[in-house]
Amino acid sequence: DGGITQSPKYLFRKEGQNVTLSCEQNLNHDAMYWYRQDPGQGLRLIYYSQIVNDFQKGDIAEGYSVSREKKESFPLTVTSAQKNPTAFYLCASSILGGRSQAPNEQYFGPGTRLTVT
Amino acid sequence: SQELEQSPQSLIVQEGKNLTINCTSSKTLYGLYWYKQKYGEGLIFLMMLQKGGEEKSHEKITAKLDEKKQQSSLHITASQPSHAGIYLCGADLQGAQKLVFGQGTRLTINP
């Protein structure tokens, strides 16, 4: 079965600790994305990557870091510098579209709910 | 303020009734995407619209993009309990191959 997996589904951490969220896809997609979702709000882009060993900041990158060492994997680290880390985190991937075309649809993982106390 | 505004933010309808959700931007939409989310889960892709005036349907759900490519609507006919969830629109506003999302519309279907 092809798809995107995120683990774990629920994660609890103490304030001041870094935590890494896993995202793996076997869809052979070039592009991968990390979003944050807070209650009553839509998704906000944290980081995205269109090719291995390269990534760009999204709208709310402060306090987060990523790596893209393999095409299939795009882990997100929530650092202690992130002031409000408690949220629902979603990973997505897509086929990279052409420059003059609208982006292809993104496929989403099931999400990880992070609670920091 | 949101770059993509969805309305209404929440909607409660009687089973069998029709409903419409809107998604509006002040900028040109290079691609408009509708997703559905059940609480605490990932997003499921519904439809993508790209051309002004485009309309797509799947089962009882129809999505339209206006001619100016600044507004989209999602219409559900004869709603069923399975339609309940959060509907989100996403769009590429700058041709940058990344999406911004509206705040979502929470749909409840009453039996």
- Rounded to an integer, the average pLDDT of B1-6 is 83
Whether the bond into A8 is cis, omega within 30 of 0:
yes
The one-letter amino acid at B37:
Q
The predicted structure's pLDDT at residue B35: 97
Q: How far A108 CA sits from the closest chain B CA (Å)?
A: 6
Q: Which residues contact A12 (CB under 8 A, 6 or more apart)?
A: A114, A115, A116, A117
Of B92, B91, B93, B56, give the one whose Cα is nearest residue B74.
B56
DSSP A42-107: -EEEEEEEEETTEEEE-TT-TTEEE--SBTTB--EEE-TT-S---EEEEEEEEPPPPTTSPPPPPE
**Residue B81 per-residue DSSP state:** G
Q: What does the pLDDT profile of chain A (117 residues) look like in tens digits? A: 669 999 999 999 999 999 999 999 999 999 999 999 998 788 999 999 999 999 999 999 999 999 999 999 999 999 998 989 999 999 999 987 766 666 778 999 999 999 999
Query: CA angle at residue B81 from B49 to B37, to 5 degrees?
Result: 45
Q: What would the mean pLDDT of B69-83 be, rounded to a whole number?
A: 95
Cα separation, B16 vs B23, in Å, equals 23
| Among candidate residues B61, B64, B65, B63, the one with its CA nearest the CA of residue B78 | B61
Residue B75 identity: H
User: Residue B104 and residue A42: Cβ atoms within 8 Å?
Assistant: yes
Token duo for residue A23: 């995202």
Highest mean pLDDT among A34-38, A81-85, B2-6, B96-100: A34-38
Q: Is the pLDDT of residue B1 over 60?
A: no
The answer to whether residue B97 scores a pLDDT higher than 90 is no
Nearest CA in chain B to A49: B98
**What mean pLDDT comes out for the span B9-29?**
95
**Which residues of A sit within 8 Å Cβ distance of B?**
4, 6, 31, 33, 35, 40-45, 48, 50, 58-59, 88, 90, 92, 96-97, 99-100, 102-103, 105-111, 113
pLDDT at A98: 66
How many angstroms separate the first and last alpha carbons of chain B? 35
A66, A47 Cβ separation under 8 angstroms: yes
Per DSSP, A111 falls in state -
Q: Which of A73-87, A102-116, B3-17, B76-90 has the lowest mean pLDDT?
A: A102-116
Number of Cβ atoms within 10 Å of the Cβ of A24? 18
Q: What is the rounded distance in angstroms from the CA atom of residue B76 to the CA atom of residue A28?
A: 33
Sorting pLDDT into bands at 50, 70 and 90, what band is B40?
confident
Residue with tokens 């629109």: B89
